[in-house]
Every structure is written in structure tokens, then in C-alpha cells.
Amino acid sequence: MRDVVFVDGVRTPFGRAGEKGIYASTRADDLVVKCIRELMRRNPSLPPERIDDVAIAATSQNGDQGMTIGRTAALLAGLPRSVPGFAIDRMCAGAMTAVTTTASGIGFGAYDVVIAGGVEHMGHHPMGAGADPNPRFLAERLVDPAALNMGNTAENLHDRFPAITKERADAYAVASQAKFAAASANGQIQPDLVPVATLKAEQGWTVQTVDEPPRPGTTLEDLAALRTPFRAHGRVTAGNAAGLNDGATAAILASAEAAQELGLPVKMRLVTYAFAGVEPEVMGIGPVPATEKALRLAGLTIDDIGLFEINEAFAVQVLSFLDHFGLDDADPRVNRYGGAIAVGHPLASSGVRLMNQLARQFAEDPSVHYGLTAMCIGLGMGAAVIWENPHFTPTEAPAVSTSSTTEGSAA
């Protein structure tokens, strides 16, 4: 097996879904095209004809997210017609699966360089719209009815772990907003963003350069006043969950040999990955068994992970992960730049956002050896990918003098 490296990743600014959102009049496939073109612009030493495949994920694969979007986006982006492409669906982990699937091809030797990513235009394609779940799911009690509504699964997770209160979830959400605002102010988010020109009747042409969903300055008092739409007197609100969003992501992956040959940067090295299934009605717990499996495959423990990028579909989902592994709610290794509660979660695109942020943190902190990107997945699954920091520089333990050793032994 060959080493697989993460070369570069970009994303569009994320928007709020709906008629008032920044991408209301923008096609989903055009968002992907922006990402592919920006990757090629940023990596001029990569000949377009050297791209072996383009994998793009979308949860709703119809309309402007249909027609085998990996192939159509590649053509629209101006890649050579010799470059194939395909579409992937693993709901929230679509882009993550696009990365792991094509990375497997690189490791096996079928590919040298690929582009992988995802898109979700929830304004055009609300989650589940047009789907026709088999009636046997409910008639034969194969799944709990709550499994078909992600908000209900989050409420179920609160039921399973009563120590995760609404107040605790709100506090986590406030921290996510604050961390994302700080990262934006420090210029740690902007380098990943691709400007997107949008057209709205009342505004004309506008260039979108920042994320629309964040609400900097959010307080506990603000969140306490929000209603709980999934259950009367519940704990899940719009403030401690990711919103409905539009956006796209894309990344370049390559074999280590191809990256060296083409002079491409190496931002991360893939160690291993894992997917796992759980009860659909508590899908938010999915990252726990997926992470345990990935750690076993890598021969690592949770203590070896120096940075965590966990998708914040719901605060309770992240908190259940932290509790399971004995991590503090405010652990500085977890989501240093904030997460989806602040920036948004355009379903199938989010996996590469996690990777972009981890790669930037690796560059900033060479003391970290390994990092994890993880997320829960609708219908009861979890995903985890372990990455190695190419900038890792071991810190040497302080030397112990002979005299002090002797004295200690004598004592």
C-alpha cells in the first residue's frame, strides 16, 4: 500500500438555506466548479490531465446535484474530458467518504492524484425531499420512527445521557461561536474560502467572501430563550445544533510519490479510517465506535490524538463523544476554530471542511503528531479518519543530571 497525502482543500463560504440565503439563485454544481477551479489555480504544478478521478458527494442527488455530479462538475470546471468522475452519498459523511474511497484507490495503486469533495444546497434540496422511505421501516419496526428525523435522534441522545443537559449543550454552542469568531478574526478561516459571485434581484451581483451562518456574540441567555422544535420541553434548539445550509468543498489527494514528483505540498498523511453503524434512533453516537475502530486499526489510543475536528451536527453529539473518551467539554484540542454550530453544516460537504481546518492547525502546531476528523451520519452511522502531521517535531524531554538521579536513587 502507498502513502496517501492531503495536498490542499478549499470550500465556498457557507450560506443559510432558503430564499434569503446568499446562494438562493446559485446552482449547486456551480459551487463545486468554483472549488475545483480554485484548487487548480492554487496548485499550478499539477497538470489537469494527471487527475485520475473526481468524486463529489451529495445527499440529494437530483436537480442541480444530480447527473453524476463528479463528472459533470469536472467538465464544467474545464478539466480534460479524459478525467472521469462519479457521485457518492453517505449523507453527512459524503465528502469524507469521497476522500476515503479515492484514498483507497491511491493506496491500492489505481490512482495517483484525485479530487474529492461534496456539496449540499439545502435551499434547493431540503433534507429528505423527494425521498420515499420504504414503509417496512416502520411497519416491521426495523427502526424507531425518530430515526427519520435528525432532531429527534438528538433528543434521544439526551435521554440516553441525562448528564448532558440543555444548559451544558448551550454552553458548548456558545463556545463554538466564540472560537469560530476568534479564528476568523485571526485569519485562520479565510485562506480556505473561495469567493463566489452571486446574483440576487434586489442586490445585483455580489461577491461572497465570508460565511453567512455564524452569530458572533451569542450568549447563554440568547440560547435559553429559543424554542425546542423537536419535543415540548426538549433540549435541542436552533442554537445548539447546526443549521440548514448551502455550500461546497473539494480537496486534492495524492500518493506521496506523485506529490513529490509534481512538487505538490503535503499538509497531512492519511493513517487510517473507519465507518461504523449504530442504532438509527441515536445516530449521534456513531463517531464513538468509528473512532474506536480507527484507533485499533492504527495501533493508537485516544491519548495519541493531539487535535480533534468533530462535526457539530448537534452539541449533544459532540458531548457524548467527549464523555465517552474522558475529554473535557473545553479541551483545547477539540474544534479549536469552532465548528458547525457556528459555521454551518451543508451535509455532504462538511467532511472536507473538517480536514481543511485540521490541516491548518497541523501547520500551526508541529508538537501535534496525530489528528482526528469524525462525524455522525444519518440513519445510524459514524465516520472517523486519523491523520498524521507532516510538520510534527517531537519535543525532547528535559535532561536529568547525574547528581539528581543519584540523589533520587539514594533517597
Q: What are 153's three cell numbers? A: 435522534
What distance lies between CA 25 and its chain's CA centroid?
25
What single-letter amino acid sits at 134? Answer: N
Distance CA 359, CA 345 (A): 19
Q: What are 369's three cell numbers? A: 503528531
Q: ∠77-184-354 over CA atoms, to 5°?
A: 55
* Residue in the block written with cell 492504527: 298
* Residue in the block written with cell 469536472: 74
Catalytic residues: 92, 345, 376
Distance CA 323, CA 166 (A): 15
Contacts of 166 (CB under 8 A, 6+ apart): 158, 228, 234, 235, 237, 240
The conformation of residue 82, written as its DSSP 8-state character, comes to: T
Contacts of 272 (CB under 8 A, 6+ apart): 294, 297, 298, 385, 386
Element (DSSP H or E) covering residue 384: strand 381-388
Q: ∠217-180-344 over CA atoms, to 5°?
A: 95
Q: What is the DSSP string of 301-334?
A: -GGGEEEEEE--SBHHHHHHHHHHTT--TT-TTB
**Helix H segments across 82-219?**
94-108, 136-139, 150-160, 166-185
User: Cβ atoms within 10 A of the Cβ of 227, count?
Assistant: 9
- Strand pairing category for 113-121 and 53-57: parallel
φ and ψ at residue 194, rounded to 5 degrees: -100, 120
